[in-house]
């Protein structure tokens, strides 16, 4: 249908494909309705144009939709970047677990194995519907689960670190109070502890300690920090020193020629407490050394490394009398 308007007065024509002729549209319901629709469309177009050029003053949302679309694109892009970064952080935290395990071994704590760790940080991932598009929903779920996993990992590592520090402090004291060096330089029989023939009495009896042979007056050192319980003459032991280290440990140094400490005196590992001799039931100058744990005699050679001399230990610890 084509519409023409005359100049003298508004006349509307239409071309009929049936008659192949132009027909004038008479003023009436049809003409008025058509004019109404045309005016309406023109007005709407004009309104939208004015609104667009004035930054959506009417707030009908065309400019706003464009702005939101752009914003949405930027947000999605950055969400992906953040999700990637959080994943890297989470992986780094897992590496910290390995280093944490080395620390745990150092302070004699059981390591956190992979299963315990996974149980601790919770392997099950739940899904939340954020009522967004599927790809944004996926992205938000990945981000949320990774952040929560990282948070639990961090809590687990923090707990482990606190435990390590507590053990370290306790162990530091305990280690200082555990017999750990050779009390005197000199030769000793590897099988000196246990049943053996007594050199003077010539009978088999239990030997509760270790005999270290050396010249008369060789320096004798305390093998751990502790308090002197007994210093002086004591029967077959001759001149002896007994040190209480706490944690169930006691050490005994016998057949001495001299003692430099008194009852109740605090001693430190590596401190010279006496000199070797031949007092008491002794067949020659030597040191009889005992280590007791909760009253039971231990093999003293289990309580020192023969390759660490007192000189070496004292030099490193800078112990002076
Ligand atoms: Zn002995």
The CA 299 to ligand 1 mean position distance, Å, reads 12
Worst-scoring range by mean pLDDT, 55-69, 109-123, 192-206, 299-313?
192-206
Question: What's the CA gap between 65 and 69, in Å, rounded?
Answer: 6
pLDDT higher at 37 or 205: 37
Q: How far is the CA of 245 from the centre of ligand 1 (A)?
A: 21
Ligand 1 midpoint to CA 175 (Å): 26
- Rounded to the nearest angstrom, the distance between the alpha carbon of 82 and the centre of ligand 1 is 72
CA–centroid distance, residue 97 to ligand 1 (Å): 49
Residues 4-60: pLDDT tens digits? 554 456 677 778 888 888 877 776 777 778 888 888 888 888 888 888 787 777 777
The CA 289 to ligand 1 mean position distance, Å, reads 7
198 pLDDT band, cuts 50/70/90, is low
Average pLDDT over all residues of the chain: 85
Question: If you measure from the C-alpha of residue 210 to the centroid of ligand 1, how many angstroms do you get, rounded to a whole number?
Answer: 6
Instruction: Please give the pLDDT value at position 134.
Output: 87
In this prediction, residue 319 has a pLDDT band, given cuts at 50, 70 and 90, of: low
Q: Quick one: which of 162, 158, 153 has its CA closest to 91?
A: 153
pLDDT at 313 > cutoff 70 = yes
228 pLDDT higher than 70: yes
The Å distance, Cα 244 to ligand 1 centre, comes to 19
CA–CA distances in Å: residue 26 to residues 18, 32, 172, 268: 18, 10, 111, 124
Backbone angles phi, psi at 216, to 5 degrees: -55, 140
Of the candidates 153, 133, 160, 132, the one whose C-alpha atom is nearest the C-alpha of residue 86 is: 153
- Residue 56 buriedness (CB in 10 A; 0-12 / 13-18 / 19+): middle
Angle at 273 between CA 183 and CA 218, to 5 degrees: 60
The whole-number pLDDT of residue 22 equals 82
């Amino acid at each position: 249908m084509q519409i023409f308007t005359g100049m003298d007065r508004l006349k509307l024509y239409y071309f009929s494909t049936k008659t192949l002729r132009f027909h004038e549209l008479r003023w009436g319901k049809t003409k008025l309705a058509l004019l109404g629709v045309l005016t309406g469309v023109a007005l709407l177009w004009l309104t939208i144009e004015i609104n667009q050029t004035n930054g959506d003053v009417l707030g009908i949302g065309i400019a706003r939709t464009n702005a939101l679309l752009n914003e949405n694109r930027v947000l999605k892009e950055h969400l992906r970047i953040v999700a990637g970064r959080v994943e890297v952080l989470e992986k780094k935290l897992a590496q910290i677990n390995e280093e944490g395990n080395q620390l745990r071994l150092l302070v004699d704590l059981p390591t956190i194995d992979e299963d315990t760790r996974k149980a601790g940080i919770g392997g099950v991932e739940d899904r939340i519907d954020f009522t967004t598009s599927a790809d944004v929903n996926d992205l938000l779920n990945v981000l949320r689960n990774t952040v929560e996993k990282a948070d639990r990992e961090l809590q687990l590592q923090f707990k482990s670190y606190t435990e390590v520090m507590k053990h370290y402090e306790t162990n530091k004291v305990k280690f200082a109070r555990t017999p750990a060096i050779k009390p005197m330089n000199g030769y000793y029989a590897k099988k000196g502890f246990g049943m053996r023939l007594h050199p003077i009495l010539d009978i088999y009896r239990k030997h509760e300690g270790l005999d270290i042979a050396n010249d008369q007056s060789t320096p004798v050192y305390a093998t751990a920090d502790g308090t002197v319980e007994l210093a002086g003459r004591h029967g077959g032991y001759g001149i002896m020193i007994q040190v209480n280290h706490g944690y169930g440990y006691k050490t005994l140094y016998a057949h001495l020629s001299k003692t430099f400490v008194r009852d109740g005196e605090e001693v430190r590992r590596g401190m010279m407490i006496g000199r070797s001799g031949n007092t008491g039931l002794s067949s020659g100058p030597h040191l009889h050394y005992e280590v007791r744990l909760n009253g039971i005699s231990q093999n003293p050679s289990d309580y020192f490394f023969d390759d660490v001399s007192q000189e070496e230990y004292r030099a490193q610890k800078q112990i002076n009398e």
